């Protein structure tokens, strides 16, 4: 079991469709001991059965990353229950609705600030606050998306936030490497999660990715979960500062594959509805 003896915290599980749940499940199956966090009382009730399934019903902690005191309280709880921890999973992102629709030029400063604070700075702050209880050879993992590298319709402000998140991963990796702490990100293909529900035309995005990725399918939370487990385990002991794509190869495509009609005219290979 690749995670036997490892202890860690997962921030950002919303339900069983969450990528963070897939990662937590994979780590649990490989022997890890877990703690998970919830945003508010509504999510506490939703996550209680998941915490029980993951064997951490006594380690279900509140953590709203916009409240520094709750991050400090999380550190105290983890230190009390675990002493040291070996990994952190950061699966937290948010942008106001106005940041995911309309013209990008019209985004407000308030929306920009909220997205950057929750989606980007929270990784830095959580790592900063929990660093004193991170063990030697520990690992921090966050979640990104291809929209932080290339333009994706309806992703808008979140794309800018993911770009900043990916660079934060690289700077944190260099800074914390001297302490034996690795920092990486997974850039997963589109998955039907609670967060994805806020992205316009998401169903079309799923069909497009399945049609044009080399493996001709969409990724699952189990597949992302296994990759996350690898990056959190000693299997990846020489890997840091990486943005690891788990998207069936979609990120390598420079243009869609083409086919030709009976007149020799090229058309996009597409079997979507």
Position 66 scores a pLDDT of: 97
Position 176 scores a pLDDT of: 98
Q: Residue 106 CB: number of other CB atoms within 10 A?
A: 11
Domains and their CATH numbers in the chain: 7-268 (3.40.50.720)
Q: Looking at 21, 38, 61, 155, which residue is catalytic?
A: 155
Position 38 scores a pLDDT of: 97
Burial of 136 (0-12, 13-18, 19+ CB in 10 A): exposed
Position 198 scores a pLDDT of: 62
Q: Residue 105 CB: number of other CB atoms within 10 A?
A: 5
Residues 199 and 240: beta-carbon distance below 8 Å: no
Which parts of the chain sit beneath pLDDT 70?
Answer: 194-198, 200, 266-273
CA 67 to chain CA centroid, Å, is 20
Residues 262 and 62: beta-carbon distance below 8 Å: no
Rounded CA gap, 232 and 226, in Å?
A: 10
Does residue 155 carry a catalytic annotation?
yes
Q: Looking at 21, 61, 145, 230, which residue is catalytic?
A: 145
Position 271 scores a pLDDT of: 54
Burial 110-122 (b: 16+ CB within 10 A, else e): ebbebbbebbbbb
């Amino acid at each position: 079991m690749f995670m036997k003896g490892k202890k860690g915290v997962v921030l950002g599980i919303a339900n069983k469709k969450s990528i963070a749940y897939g990662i937590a499940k994979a780590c649990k199956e490989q022997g890890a001991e877990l703690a998970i966090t919830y945003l508010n009382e509504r999510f506490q009730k939703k996550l209680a059965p998941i915490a029980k399934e993951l064997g951490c019903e006594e380690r279900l902690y509140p953590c709203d990353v916009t409240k520094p005191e709750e991050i400090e309280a999380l550190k105290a709880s983890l230190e009390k229950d675990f002493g040291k921890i070996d990994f952190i999973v950061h699966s937290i992102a948010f942008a106001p609705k106005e940041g995911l629709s309309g013209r990008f030029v019209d985004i407000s400063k308030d929306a920009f600030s909220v997205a950057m604070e929750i989606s980007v700075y929270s990784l830095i702050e959580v790592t900063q606050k929990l660093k004193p209880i991170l063990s030697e050879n520990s690992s921090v993992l966050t979640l990104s998306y291809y929209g932080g590298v290339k333009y994706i319709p309806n992703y808008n402000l979140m794309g800018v936030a993911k770009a900043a998140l990916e660079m934060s991963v690289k700077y944190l990796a260099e800074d914390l490497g001297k302490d034996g702490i690795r920092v990486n990100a997974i850039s997963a293909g589109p998955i039907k999660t609670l967060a994805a529900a806020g992205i316009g035309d998401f169903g079309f995005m799923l069909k497009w990715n399945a049609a044009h990725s080399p493996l001709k399918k969409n990724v699952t939370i189990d597949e992302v979960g296994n990759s996350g487990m690898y990056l959190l385990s000693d299997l990846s002991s020489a890997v840091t500062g990486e943005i690891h794509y788990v998207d069936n190869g979609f990120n390598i495509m420079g243009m869609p594959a083409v086919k030709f009609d009976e007149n020799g005219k090229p058309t996009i290979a597409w079997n979507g509805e």
